[in-house]
Structure 1
Amino acid sequence: MSSIQVFEHSFLPIEKGKLEQRHFVALSKLNALHNDKYFDLRHNGIKFKQFVGVIQVNGLTIEILPKIDNDGKEKSVWHTALIEMLRVTRKLKVQKVDEAHVKKQQIHLLDIYFEWFLNEVQLLLHQGLIKQYYKETGNVKALKGKLEFAGHIAKNLVHKERFYTTHQVYDKNHLVHQILAQALDIVCNLSKGNYLYSKCKTIQLDFPEVKPIKANESTFSKIPKNRKTAPYETALAIARLIILNYAPNVQSGNEKMLALLFDMNSLWEEYILVRLKQVNNDLSILGQTKKEFWNGVYIKPDIVIKKSNETFIIDTKWKNIGNSNPSTQDLRQMFVYNDYWNSKKAMLLYPSTSNSFDGFKEFTGREQECGLGRISIFKNGTDSLDENIGEIILNWFGVVE
């Protein structure tokens, strides 16, 4: 198992011993399956877009890391930062990153998700797996349930002692366990050769034998939600992530691929929203509220802050604009948000290598204002994420007491 770490928007060339032609072909199929949104194909390699995370294909693991242009920080720093951002936004459950073993370079993001899933299944095994009722159609030796006449005549013309019925069964071979078993198979398949493989095989030995299935998006909508299945929610959520992003046979060939990728624009927005909500105050802080703009078209600022009768808008942009002004399009967007939400102040918030805010400036001839905030996610002079950026941003609005 070989691995490569790259930054978002970087170019990865085809190279023997790294990204080989067979990997390139497999990744092109994966990208086509997702409408070419993850990266651009070049004749001699791959140009990544704004998606970060991890891809595993045919024994190669590619970890795509976020980066603020020219920040000078090593890949290991951004590896840790990405894990922490996923943890804060609850897309990943690990201990505080600076205390966890995930700092080791040989531990990849995919391993962390796999270990999280295995730990959840292990916990369920210790607590005791549930039984459920489900319907089964087949031959039985005693008449029970509903006799299926057509099937009974077709299958039991000779065997008069059998009955072909649809009947209820109460055991552990039900949809919830079938989904977990499928995810366990994928984890075992993709973790061969690393420290998780033996743990996965041990859990499989303890797991009940269930009917194999090929779950898809609609399968997960059939999972019953009740008191008995409540302890399974986390394990099923991770299983869904693993199964729906696993592509064992994309179009043709036998490539085994799994891609856990996150749009950095969305992750940045969610991260800022969580950090703002962590500040103790009497503010109402909402994400993605929307209003109709025109003929069924809606507009939605990333973050809406309310204090008493005042409303403030934040729109996050994951791009480092340096000392440049924001684009005209971005400013027009903020003007419309101010107008529709009756807000006096709006802010465009960009990542940067240091914090800077020059105050709010009026739109010409209007009372509404817009500010340009540049903020570093790292503490000054360190490689650790700054937990207080929410307070810094709210101070710029003057709403923190």
Structure 2
Amino acid sequence: MRKGKESFTVFEHDCLRIGRGKQKLTNEQLEALQLFYGENGVPFYSLIHHGVRFNEYVGVIQVGKTVIEVLPKADKANPNDESVKTTWRNVLISMLYAVGIFDIHAPSNSNLRLRSNSILDLYFDLFIKEIEYLLHRGLVKKYRKTSGNRSALKGSIQFGKHISQNLVHQERFYVRHTIYDTQHDIHAILYKALKLLSFINTNVQLSSRLGTLLLDFPELYDIKISEYLFDKIALDRKTEPYRKALEIAKLILLNYHPDVKKGTSNVLALMFDMNLLWERFVYVSLRKHKLANTSIASQNTRNFWKPQSGYRSKMKPDIVLNKGTDKCLVLDTKWKNLNGYNPSPEDLRQMFVYMKYYGAKKVALVYPGVENINQSGQYYDHSSQDSMHLSNEECSVISIKVEKDVKAWQKKIYENISQWFYHF
């Protein structure tokens, strides 16, 4: 199915090494990952002896023609079982869909066919769908200024250039005028992303569609890619349908790192912090099912500490329910399996501070798990001389079973948290 491609599928916190394990890196692959890591490092993995250890980031890293897929995992199932890999790949894709990362204009069932390969294929497929959608509806034209020699006087004549270039050819005019066409920066970005995909794509299913799009899409000028380029693009009513295609193009182009020395170990890293993804997934699940009289805020910031000079320190809990009321509750999400252990003292101390500063009735840490567990614990009374005296201040631990059906999972998240929420 793939042309000249080698793939690895691992889970977060797994290792890949040279000469060890069922999946072995080559010297060239490790060297490319080491070069990409550089002196400052990358958050996706750390370097170990003759290999790499992946962190809590999940997604896909493509090094040359080698694709490394990193999946999340919150259970003890056999990581070498292909069905386990398929399950967690679908869980990750479902979470990305739920938080809106894979929200596209032209949905179809073809993405299900690509799930057996990698998330990278799915991203490429989504971008191709978006470009097909834009071509079908007609590319947006914009006005642009252009200068040059013309056989007819159109626009304003540029006398300096006209005199220097047309002393012999008096039938020509060097003018500056306005053209209304498809040659603008938005299309230049999409065209550059299309060319990049055609270069790095290793999926035969997508190759013919990419070739067709490159024939149908107008050939554009080369454009220098930067964060600033994307920041300065302002979409209007006519160009709003381009938003999703530009988001995917931005993700691909800004995360592509060409190997300028050899040209054989280019790196594309489309990786997601699993802690942030879990936080967003819990938030959208609660928002989807919440009652009308319940408020919910994500990443609500409050000042925490101010030095005599310099910047203030802030606190930012993941989710605040009913902020400013006597039924205020604070949630902090953690993507880890406690496996029956207590939360870390640091997490418990952090929740205690949230309780005090937000005036919360209760606080809770929310984890994924293999079963649904809602367990509360009490803080010791810090105002009492008796070090063994418990207070009425609680911090709960909510473990929510991972479900294969994302809609059922989202509902279960709401039910578990709301059961804790209303149990005063």
Paired residues of 2:114 and 2:121 also in contact (CA < 8 A): no
Separation in 1, partners of 2:57, 2:353: 28
Q: Which residue of 2 aligns with 1:352?
A: 369
* Residue type of the alignment partner of 1:313: V
CA 1:377/1:192 → structure 2, altered by over 3 Å: closer, same or farther? closer
Structure 1, gaps ≥5 residues long:
none
The answer as to 2:237 corresponding to 1:220 is no
Paired residues of 1:53 and 1:260 also in contact (CA < 8 A): yes
CA 1:71/1:277 → structure 2, altered by over 3 Å: closer, same or farther? farther
CA 1:209/1:261 → structure 2, altered by over 3 Å: closer, same or farther? same
Count of residue pairs the alignment pairs up? 396
Per mean C-alpha deviation after superposition, the further-off stretch among 103-112 and 150-159 is 150-159
CA 1:148/1:32 → structure 2, altered by over 3 Å: closer, same or farther? farther
Paired residues of 2:328 and 2:358 also in contact (CA < 8 A): yes
* Residue type of the alignment partner of 1:36: V
Q: Which residue of 2 aligns with 1:397?
A: 421
Per mean C-alpha deviation after superposition, the further-off stretch among 59-68 and 139-148 is 139-148
Q: 1:287 aligns with which of 282, 298, 302?
A: 298
Task: State the shift of 1:360 in Å.
Answer: 4.6
Per mean C-alpha deviation after superposition, the further-off stretch among 31-40 and 294-303 is 31-40
CA 1:76/1:34 → structure 2, altered by over 3 Å: closer, same or farther? farther
Paired residues of 2:58 and 2:272 also in contact (CA < 8 A): yes
Q: 1:304 aligns with which of 303, 306, 320?
A: 320
Cα shift readout 1:262-299 (whole Å, capped 9, x = no counterpart)? 00110111111111112241311111000011121110
CA 1:320/1:150 → structure 2, altered by over 3 Å: closer, same or farther? farther
Cα shift readout 1:11-60 (whole Å, capped 9, x = no counterpart)? 10125995222222222232338742211112311111111000111111
Per mean C-alpha deviation after superposition, the further-off stretch among 247-256 and 123-132 is 247-256
The answer as to 2:357 corresponding to 1:340 is yes
Paired residues of 1:93 and 1:116 also in contact (CA < 8 A): no
The answer as to 2:214 corresponding to 1:204 is yes
Q: Which residue of 2 aligns with 1:59?
A: 65
The answer as to 2:15 corresponding to 1:43 is no
Q: Which residue of 1 aligns with 2:339?
A: 322
Paired residues of 2:104 and 2:130 also in contact (CA < 8 A): no
CA 1:183/1:324 → structure 2, altered by over 3 Å: closer, same or farther? same
Task: State the shift of 1:101 in Å.
Answer: 5.6
Separation in 2, partners of 1:26, 1:137: 45
Q: Which residue of 1 aligns with 2:140?
A: 130
Separation in 1, partners of 2:314, 2:190: 38
CA 1:35/1:165 → structure 2, altered by over 3 Å: closer, same or farther? farther
Secondary structure of the residue that 1:195 maps to in structure 2? helix
CA 1:251/1:79 → structure 2, altered by over 3 Å: closer, same or farther? same
In the TM superposition, 1:57-206 aligns within 5 A as 57-72=63-78, 74-93=84-103, 102=112, 106-145=116-155, 159-206=169-216
The answer as to 2:2 corresponding to 1:2 is no
CA 1:154/1:368 → structure 2, altered by over 3 Å: closer, same or farther? farther
Per mean C-alpha deviation after superposition, the further-off stretch among 390-399 and 110-119 is 390-399
CA 1:363/1:90 → structure 2, altered by over 3 Å: closer, same or farther? farther
Per mean C-alpha deviation after superposition, the further-off stretch among 177-186 and 208-217 is 208-217
Separation in 2, partners of 1:320, 1:129: 48
Secondary structure of the residue that 1:374 maps to in structure 2? strand
Q: Which residue of 1 aligns with 2:385?
A: none
Structure 2, gaps ≥5 residues long:
307-311, 383-390
TM-score (norm 1): 0.89
Q: Which residue of 2 aligns with 1:231?
A: 241
* Residue type of the alignment partner of 1:225: L
CA 1:202/1:372 → structure 2, altered by over 3 Å: closer, same or farther? same
Q: 1:369 aligns with which of 359, 369, 394?
A: 394
Between the aligned residues of both structures, percent identity stands at: 40
Cα shift readout 1:166-217 (whole Å, capped 9, x = no counterpart)? 4322101111111110111111112245210101111111112222223221
Q: Which residue of 2 aligns with 1:26?
A: 32
